[in-house]
Structure 1
Amino acid sequence: MSWSGLLQCTAVEKNGRTVISDCYYEGALKLTRPVYLHPSQPTIYLIHVGGGYVDGDRYKTEIMLQEGAHLIATTQSATKIYKTVKVPVQQYTSAYLDDQSVLEFFPDPVIAYEKAQFYQEMTVYMKESSTFIYGDIITPGWSESGELFRYDWIRSKLKIYYEDNLKLFDHLYLETSTGMTGIFQMEGYTHFGSLFVISPFMTQDLLQKFESMAARFPASVHLGWSIPMIPGLVIRVLAHETHAIETIFQMIHQFIREECFQEEPIFLRKY
């Protein structure tokens, strides 16, 4: 099967420090050398060298964490989806988390421009003792008319296999022809964010602390959260700008790192 970009990497724990043991990429996807924003936890930046996704592009990324590995991943810039005339852009990401491994994955926002069609699917295979933290933001791109929501549609799926059983299946479908501003749609907001935290550390006591912290979130956003059938937390955010969602994600990310791992916060953005 032909891919516009293919990327694979494996993280392992050695002597109390996580390292990238194996890495392969081809096509439009690249990977930077790890940056240690934390002394033992590498941060990798996924790079798209083409500047944007266009008609018919297909991308595949695989991230593997062996036992005890702790990896932080983000992207170099936003995922820009341009006009798709015939075939939607497709992006597939898989993550494999072994025992007591931790993956913190915060890609930059998806920006969908006029006439864009985008399908993305993320599949996670994790153990009961592993931790998966993932933030996803979707924003409307600029259009010549100045109108918002000029893209055709965005479909985003997240599947989490927990000890080989499918325990969480999230399916977001935004289709502009049905109207995006009304009730049960964007309800007057323009930007949408989802944050997933699946971890054995997400106890009832921790969830109560989170609820108290949520009272400090900016009033300019509309936020809700739920508890899945496995230990974790799912947060949804509606806002009028990307920065507002990123600010909330940063607050939650800092809270999780401090409460679950007794670690200092890290700042992933490139500006």
Structure 2
Amino acid sequence: MTDAWEWDPSLYSGSARYYAQGRAAYPPELATAFAEELGLDGTGRLLDVGCGPGSLTLLLAGLFEEALGLDADGDMLAEASRLAVNAGNCRWVHRRAEELPAGLGRFRLVTFAQSFHWLDRPRVAAAVRGTLTPDGVCAHVHASTHESVHPAIAELVREYLGPVRRAGRSALPAGTPGGEAAIYRAAGFHGPRRFEVPGRVVTRTVDDVVAGVFSLSSSAPHLFGDRRAAFEAELRRRLASAETFTLRLPEIAVDLWFTRGC
């Protein structure tokens, strides 16, 4: 991530209503793997940082006494609340991760799923370490819940938004940063210990694919301005050759980081 890029509230503006449909759900096997790896038994508390509409929060909530989803986007949290009608132990917190610990208490597990790269990573990692119980764990989930099904999609986005990846009011010419292992270690974490969940095949309708495009920060609805409707119409036209699209999502890898040697 370049030094010129700074987070702003428009990063996912307008995307929340497309997220649940446009992104593939995390599989139940992921929750099972978490439970087995960490001996989760319904006790303790979960904090999902950058939770979006609660995709991972809701999957893991049943493994804890209480699950908190934290996000800077109020619309994402409104969508999470709507989806959480049968999850009575969930609470949604409208804050930036940089505000942690924010008086939220201690947690048995803190998760980052497709969110850590948007944050002030050293600051947030250090704050998260301070919120964990003595046996607490931080989990970095490497996953893709969205894969492009057609080369025409990226081509059309470039036609409308230009060749450089957009992100909020700015751009990311070099993409988002990696190297998170060094960040966690510098914050005092030990590890990682990794577990994996196999990839899977999913089938997407044209509506799903369109929703997936608008769920991305790089093609969030607000970026198109008054050309959004024209973009969607052209996208649907280019996808009209098929009613459904089948794709294989890659495996999910989870790195577990501990407050003491493991």
* TM-score grouping bracket, smaller chain normalisation: under 0.3
Greater fraction strand = 1
Greater share of helix residues, 1 or 2?
A: 2
TM-score by length of 1: 0.26
So what's the TM-score if we normalise by structure 2?
0.27
